């Protein structure tokens, strides 16, 4: 008679390893985990259910869980909003800009893109669902979450929360104008696309900020020609230069772009230009937005 040794349970160290993998994952993903992610860490479906039954995990939607011992942070909220739409959903817009540190302020709405059509009854509050098929080059992964790439994120965030995000991304070299134009052309029917087409056209003219773009629009609308944007005069960069008339138009831009250092720099270059025989006109954001006719009249008066 052959004796058969009784089967023994797997060594306990495997369970410890899985537990550590899961705990590490939760720590790096703001306490949020999906079924697929838990299985990838080595958990079984019954193990997932035990954590839910015990109260260790809170089921937020089908296949999406929050560890009960993790605080609900803004980052966790973003993960939850995205994953409850779909495990393959993609964060976008202002929230996508915040996630990628393109903006500091948390947006009022979290925009999430999915190619799955239909209702999403378990979508987290404050979430806006966008149905769209994304090009592969417009999908990135940042901190373990799918998010639209920087060019598309900047375009949609500019529509949602204002053009400053576009200006800042360009000035900080987080994106190029060519990348923005290419992303815009891939989704010509998205909300805000018509206005963005005008904005991008103005950017291609050389204007660097929203204030400068409005100046371009004023000049073109009034048939004022002969200017060049962002040209160096006397070793200082000028916003708009009329070379033939020796006239420089400087735009102060948004008030929050101004500080003591900027103020001193602007005065230094203005003095250099005047000493070299140039006429310098300065206009503010308020001039451009509420007194456009006044701006046009003053420029015409000096260029003849």
Q: Of the ranges 34-48, 193-207, 254-268, which one carries the lowest mean pLDDT score?
A: 254-268
- CATH numeric code, 205-303: 3.40.960.10
Q: What is the C-alpha separation between 201 and 214, in angstroms, rounded? A: 12
Q: What is the residue extent of each domain of the chain?
A: 12-67, 74-202, 205-303
pTM: 0.71
Regarding predicted confidence, which is higher, 221 or 10?
A: 221
First to last CA, the chain: 115
Grade residue 15 by pLDDT with cuts at 50, 70 and 90.
confident
pLDDT on residue 267: 86
Q: Of the ranges 43-47, 49-53, 197-201, 252-256, which one carries the lowest mean pLDDT score?
A: 252-256
Q: What is the C-alpha separation between 190 and 198, in angstroms, rounded? A: 14
% of residues, the chain, pLDDT over 70? 88
pLDDT on residue 208: 65
Grade residue 300 by pLDDT with cuts at 50, 70 and 90.
very high
- What backbone phi and psi angles, to 5 degrees, belong to 90? -130, 125
Q: Of the ranges 23-32, 58-67, 109-118, 145-154, which one carries the lowest mean pLDDT score?
A: 109-118
């Amino acid at each position: 008679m052959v004796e058969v040794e009784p089967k023994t349970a797997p060594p306990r160290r495997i369970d410890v390893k899985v537990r550590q993998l899961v705990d590490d994952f939760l720590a790096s993903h703001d306490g949020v985990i999906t079924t697929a992610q838990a299985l990838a860490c080595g958990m079984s479906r019954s193990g997932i259910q035990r954590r839910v039954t015990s109260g260790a995990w809170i089921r937020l939607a089908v296949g999406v869980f929050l560890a009960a011992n993790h605080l609900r942070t803004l980052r966790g909220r973003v993960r939850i909003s995205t994953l409850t739409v779909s495990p393959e959903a993609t964060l976008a817009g202002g929230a996508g800009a915040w996630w990628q540190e393109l903006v500091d302020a948390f947006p009022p709405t979290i925009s999430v893109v999915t190619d799955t059509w239909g209702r999403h009854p378990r979508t987290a509050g404050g979430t806006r669902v966008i149905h769209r098929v994304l090009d592969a080059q417009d999908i990135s992964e940042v901190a373990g979450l799918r998010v639209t790439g920087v060019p598309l994120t900047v375009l949609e965030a500019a529509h949602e929360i204002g053009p400053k995000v576009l200006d800042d991304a360009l000035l900080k070299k987080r994106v190029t104008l060519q990348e923005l134009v290419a992303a815009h052309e891939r989704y010509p029917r998205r909300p805000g696309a018509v206005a963005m087409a005008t904005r991008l056209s103005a950017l291609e003219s050389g204007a660097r900020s929203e204030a400068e773009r409005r100046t371009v629009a004023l000049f073109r609308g009034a048939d004022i020609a002969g200017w060049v944007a962002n040209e160096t005069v006397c070793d200082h960069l000028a916003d708009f230069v009329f070379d033939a008339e020796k006239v420089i138009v400087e735009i102060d831009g948004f008030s929050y772009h101004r500080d003591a250092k900027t103020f001193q720099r602007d005065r230094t270059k203005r003095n250099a230009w005047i000493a070299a025989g140039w006429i310098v006109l300065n206009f503010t954001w308020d001039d451009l937005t509420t007194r456009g006719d006044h701006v046009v009249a003053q420029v015409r008066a000096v260029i003849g």
